[in-house]
Structure 1
Amino acid sequence: MKLRHIGLALAIVSTLGCSIKQTVDPAQLSTTLQPEICMIAAPGVREGFTHAYGAALQSKGFTLRQLPAGSSPSRCPLSTTYTGTWRWDVALYMRYAEIGVFEGGKRVGRAVYDARSGGGRLDKFIDAESKIHELADELFPNGAALLGQRPRPAVVATSVSEAATGRSRGELLQELQDTPGLSYEEYQRRYREIMGQ
């Protein structure tokens, strides 16, 4: 009986020191980027990882371009690097995964799943494909939805009416307010014209 309690205590203590960590810094992307992303695997990454991550990116609205393993992230305006390792412990499990996101070669996002200290924990036996999709969802919360937007033109300080009449906006607004008998629609039309809207 005493041996059983000691064995149970050892099992509990051995799992207390074990941990599985996941950290995600969501990618901060410029909206002017096109939604194409270059995928760069680390040498030796399993084909299943590439397939799962590519499917996750496509579901987020990205178009993919695969570059050779180990390519520089600066080769594309938007790129992602990824690595993953597996280990055998009664069954095969994903031990470590890291995904980086780069804009113009500068890292703008990162996701890490780390079960290397998972030891005796049973929750290390996860579905790797689901975990890769989860990391992609957290890394790209808006997906490619906000990408490909053109920058807005700078607001011109003077309206067409101002430029044509040579009078200030304040003078034109005062004149509009002093004009009797205008319908609401006509007043709004002239106001928008003066304000350059």
Structure 2
Amino acid sequence: MKKTAIIVVAVTFLAGCAISENVVPVDSDKTIEKVYVRYSDDVHMEGLNDELVSQFRSLGFDAELYRGDTPDAAQHTFIFTANWAWDLAMYLTYFHGTLYEEGRMLGEAEYDARSGGSNFGKFGPTASKIKPLLTEMMQKVQRR
């Protein structure tokens, strides 16, 4: 009985240490030339705005950061939020980004380490947490 209780507690503890990644990929019939990334000043990592532009470019898309109103030429926009927390070091706890085509959602990417607990996978560069999600979200998209 004592052994069973220890196993139940261990499994419950480990289950509470999950990091989840969810992606809704953009359909393969989409062709995208340029992604406009809306600037967010509500993020801890100041360089994240430029990092997202860089990541879209590395995936083969032209990308531009914008502030304020959506540019008239923006057919495809990416809007995101991100949060960090402290646990021995600062780490990304949550990221959610949505790609829109003229206001209609095409795809989204989410990284959630809010229940990361003692999972050391939550540490590491923010860019390395987001890049695989954007890659998966955009993998089927045709580039112009």
- Which among 106, 109, 112 is matched to residue 108 of structure 1? 106
Correspondence list, 1:91-102, <5 A: 91-102=89-100
Q: Following TM superposition, by how much is the alpha carbon of 1:120 offset from its aligned partner in structure 2, in angstroms?
A: 2.1
Equivalent residue in structure 2 for 1:87, among 81, 85, 88:
85
Contact in 1 for aligned 2:17/2:115 (Cα 8 Å): yes
Residue identity in the other structure for 2:47:
G
Question: Residue 22 of structure 1: SS of its match in structure 2?
Answer: strand
For structure 1, list consecutive stretches of 5 or more residues without a partner in the other structure.
1-5, 149-197
- Provide the C-alpha distance between the structure 1 equivalents of 2:67 and 2:98, rounded to a whole number of angstroms: 16
C-alpha offsets along residues 141-195 of structure 1, whole Å, 9 cap, x if unaligned?
045xx244xxxxxxxxxxxxxxxxxxxxxxxxxxxxxxxxxxxxxxxxxxxxxxx
Q: How does 1:38-77 map to 2 (within 5 A)?
A: 38-45=36-43, 46-68=45-67, 71=69, 76-77=74-75
TM-score by length of 2: 0.80
Alpha-carbon distance in structure 2 between the residues aligned to 1:128 and 1:74: 31
C-alpha RMSD over aligned residues? 2.8
- Closer, same or farther in 2 for the Cα pair 1:61/1:127, shift >3 Å? same
Residue 62 of structure 1: CA displacement? 1.4
Q: Is the 8 A contact 1:21 1:114 kept in 2?
A: yes
Matches of 1:141 and 1:17, distance apart in 2: 31
Question: Secondary structure of the residue that 1:96 maps to in structure 2?
Answer: strand
Number of the residue aligned with 1:134: 132
Cα separation, 1, equivalents of 2:133 and 2:47:
15
Report % sequence identity: 28
Deviation by residue 1:56-114 (Cα, 9 ceiling, x = unmatched): 11011211222116x45987211111121111011111000111000111011000000
More helix by percentage? 1
Aligned partners of 1:125 and 1:8: how far apart in 2? 27
Equivalent pair of 1:85/1:97 in contact (CA under 8 Å): yes
Instruction: Return the alpha-carbon distance in structure 1 between the equivalents of residues 71 and 81 of structure 2.
Output: 14
Residue segments in structure 2 that go unaligned for 5+ positions in a row: none
Instruction: Identify, as 1 or 2, the structure richer in strand.
Output: 2
Give the distance between the partners of 1:73 and 1:118, measured in 2 at CA: 37
Partners of 2:105 and 2:119 in 1: CA distance: 32
* Contact 2:83 2:92 (8 Å CA) reproduced: yes
Q: Which residue of 2 aligns with 1:30?
A: 30
CA-CA distance at 1:130 after TM superposition: 1.1
**Residue number in structure 2 paired with 1:15:** 14
Decide which structure has the larger Cα Rg and report it.
1
Q: Which amino acid aligns with 1:110?
A: E
